[in-house]
């Protein structure tokens, strides 16, 4: 049923593109930028309530933050698409045991943060607000949270940051967009106008937004962890980022999928942080 609805939406916007290409593309971009809201389970609510919660501001948007105080260096946790700060529960438990000072934020249009729409550039601005308050030495980003973290550091060059961990992070926004176009079955008219709308809205083409390209300007040490059988973000993206991120190393896993929610991954991270 879900696949049928997806194809139906794509067909509708394809027909609409012959009436107005820009209108159809704007609808397609809006759909692409709107995450589904998930419900928190009681255990996740309890976990988030164990943190000191605070709302920061970026323009008219509220940024939900969660702080578990510790005596060691500060880690900023940046979740991915259709997720929230509760996804870090297993890793935070281990980080707390090690005494780290831990901060997490909810992305735009995710969790308890504001905005109805999401994009990695807006996310990078949210990260900047939080980073300026807490001055993290370490950022750990999952999926598009890793991409947004690289966008942030490339633009703002936070002095305190000395290590970055990218978990299942995408490299090329153009690849993400291409997969979305294929999934919905958009025609060439919608695709053409989508590219034009993105250029007009963000001042750059989809191919300009690249984790691998932006990582060239980052001096911090990098750890990239990616599962070879990741069905969401191809393993090839990790190799692209690793090639450009001059002070990085790549750890390949198998069988942990896109979530990388395994104790061995946490150990890899902790080993890297202690180096």
Token pair in block for residue 102:
């831990």
The reported pLDDT for the residue numbered 6 is: 82
Same domain, 28 and 77: no
> pTM, whole model, 2 decimals?
0.95
Spatial CA neighbour of 259 closest among 127, 89, 124: 89
Residue 225, SS3?
Answer: strand
Predicted confidence at residue 1, as pLDDT, reads: 59
51 and 103, same domain (yes or no)? yes
Same domain for 88 and 224, yes or no, is: yes
User: How many structural domains does the chain have?
Assistant: 2
Q: Which burial class, exposed, middle or buried, applies to 128 when counting CB atoms under 10 A from its CB (0-12, 13-18, 19+)?
A: middle
Q: Is the dihedral of CA 157, 160, 110, 250 positive or negative?
A: positive
What range defines the domain where residue 185 resides?
A: 1-32+173-206
256: domain CATH number is 3.40.50.1820
DSSP 229-255: T-SSS-HHHHHHHHHHSTTEEEEEESS
pLDDT at 7: 78
| Positions in the chain short of pLDDT 70 | 1-2
- Among 154, 183, 206, which residue terminates a domain? 206
Are residue 122 and residue 140 in the same domain, yes or no?
yes
Contact 229, 239 (CB under 8 A): no
102 and 155, same domain (yes or no): yes
The answer to whether residues 86 and 116 belong to one domain is: yes
For residue 37, the model assigns a pLDDT of: 79
Do 117 and 20 lie in one domain? The reply is no
By C-alpha distance, which of 200, 141, 151, 155 is closest to 173? 151
One domain for residues 17 and 133: no
- Does one domain contain both 148 and 13? no
């Amino acid at each position: 049923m879900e696949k049928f609805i997806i194809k139906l939406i794509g067909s509708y916007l394809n027909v609409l593109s012959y009436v107005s290409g820009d209108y159809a593309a704007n609808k397609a971009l809006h759909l692409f930028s709107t995450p589904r809201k998930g419900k928190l389970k009681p255990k996740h609510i309890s976990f988030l309530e164990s943190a000191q919660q605070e709302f920061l501001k970026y323009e008219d948007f509220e940024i939900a933050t969660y702080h578990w105080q510790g005596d060691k260096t500060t880690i900023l946790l940046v979740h991915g698409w259709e997720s929230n700060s509760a996804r870090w529960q297993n890793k935070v438990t281990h980080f707390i045991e090690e005494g780290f000072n831990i901060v997490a934020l909810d992305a735009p249009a995710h969790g308890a943060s504001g905005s109805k729409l999401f994009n990695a550039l807006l996310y990078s601005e949210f990260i900047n607000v939080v980073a300026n308050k807490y001055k993290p030495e370490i950022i750990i980003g999952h999926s598009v949270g890793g991409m947004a973290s690289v966008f942030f550091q490339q633009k703002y060059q936070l002095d305190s940051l000395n290590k970055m961990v990218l978990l299942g992070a995408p490299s090329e926004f153009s690849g993400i967009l291409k997969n979305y176009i294929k999934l919905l079955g958009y025609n060439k008219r919608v695709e053409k106008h989508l590219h034009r709308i993105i250029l007009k809205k963000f001042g750059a083409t989809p191919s300009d937004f690249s984790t691998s390209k932006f990582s060239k300007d980052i001096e911090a040490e990098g750890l990239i962890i990616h599962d070879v059988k990741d069905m969401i973000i191809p393993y090839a993206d990790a190799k692209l980022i690793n090639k450009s991120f001059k002070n990085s190393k790549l750890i390949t896993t198998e069988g942990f999928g896109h979530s990388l929610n395994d104790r061995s991954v946490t150990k890899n991270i902790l080993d890297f942080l202690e180096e």
